[in-house]
């Protein structure tokens, strides 16, 4: 989505757990104006039981499954390089938006990018992260919940496959477009990559 002389790309992660210091990325997805990035990664650590209950991912005999269905995977380094290439295809500056970016998606992605020695390349493309969770609280303080599935149901009248990163990113873009927030409001909930 073109915004403030740049582009907002909506992304989401599915992970092996909620600990941002060590969890591994299982699925990395991003969408922008019909362009889609969606890759699955075989994690190198066990998936928490709670994460499996939420996202349906399991590993058996070195293969990834979701809800019992086999999922082809790509290596982490290759996925990260492809992701940066995908982001480079948009007019800059690029801003990555996620629901709870500040406390979950952005710190995990930054840690993994550093581990893969790709943080500086990422920073050449991406200027910062937009967190749509506090943005939604700011825009609609009267709502009883600001979880993304609730927001999608409330504003768009739909349900979807939550905890599939591609679906989460797609629905977040639709929510954002529905809200149509002004640039000043978005800026309040945007952090530069240097903060990570």
Omega before 93 cis (within 30°)? yes
What does the pLDDT read at residue 123? 97
pLDDT digits (tens, 9 = 90+) for 113-161: 999 999 999 999 999 999 999 999 999 999 999 999 999 999 999 999 9
What does the pLDDT read at residue 92? 84
Give me the mean pLDDT over the 2-22 stretch: 90
Contact by Cβ (8 Å): 84, 122: yes
Multiple choice CATH, 2-190, 3.40.50.2000, 3.30.1330.40, 3.40.50.300, 3.30.420.10: 3.30.420.10
Give me the mean pLDDT over the 178-184 stretch: 95
Measure the CA–CA gap between 59 and 42, rounded to whole angstroms.
8
What does the pLDDT read at residue 6? 86
Within 10 angstroms of residue 89's Cβ, the number of other Cβ atoms is: 13
Q: Please say if the pLDDT value at position 2 is more than 80.
A: no
List the domain boundaries for the chain.
2-190
- In the structure, how many helices (H) and strands (E) does the chain have? 8, 10
Give me the mean pLDDT over the 30-52 stretch: 97
């Amino acid at each position: 989505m073109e915004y403030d002389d740049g582009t907002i790309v909506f992304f989401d992660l599915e992970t092996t757990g909620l600990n941002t210091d060590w969890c591994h990325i299982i699925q990395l997805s991003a969408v922008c104006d019909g362009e889609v990035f969606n890759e699955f990664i075989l994690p190198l650590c066990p998936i928490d039981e709670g994460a499996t209950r939420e996202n349906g991912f399991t590993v058996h005999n070195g293969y990834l499954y979701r809800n019992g269905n086999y999922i082809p995977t790509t290596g982490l380094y290759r996925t990260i390089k492809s992701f940066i290439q995908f982001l480079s295809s948009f007019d800059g500056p690029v801003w990555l938006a996620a629901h709870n970016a500040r406390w979950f998606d952005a710190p995990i992605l930054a840690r993994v990018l550093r581990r893969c020695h790709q943080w500086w390349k990422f920073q050449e493309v991406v200027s910062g992260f937009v967190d749509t969770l506090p943005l939604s609280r700011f825009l609609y303080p009267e709502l009883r919940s600001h979880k993304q599935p609730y927001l999608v149901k409330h504003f768009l009248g739909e349900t979807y496959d939550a905890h599939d990163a591609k679906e989460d990113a797609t629905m977040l873009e639709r929510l954002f477009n529905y809200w149509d927030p002004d640039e000043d409001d978005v800026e309040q909930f945007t952090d530069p990559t240097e903060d990570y």
